[in-house]
Structure 1
């Protein structure tokens, strides 16, 4: 996880997970709309998973 991705996930979480798939983007977008902190946490968790 690069510093750029961390900064992007704090500023706009759905954009940080755009390359992880449509499902991840939708989940993070919904969580961001419900509250900024859940969106940021979800984006950081998705980015931290190494597959």
Structure 2
């Protein structure tokens, strides 16, 4: 997610700040215990003014 935000023009410090308040983490897969899949979701509408 940090790299994705970097591609949108944010520096790493800004990307970490955005992730800390706007990214939603979800457990996506529990099949291969103990290896879980976690997805990071970022709502695009937070960038409406950018």
Q: Give the structure with the higher percent helix.
A: 1
Q: Give the structure with the higher percent strand.
A: 2
Answer whether TM exceeds 0.5 for this pair: no
* TM-score w.r.t. length of structure 1: 0.31
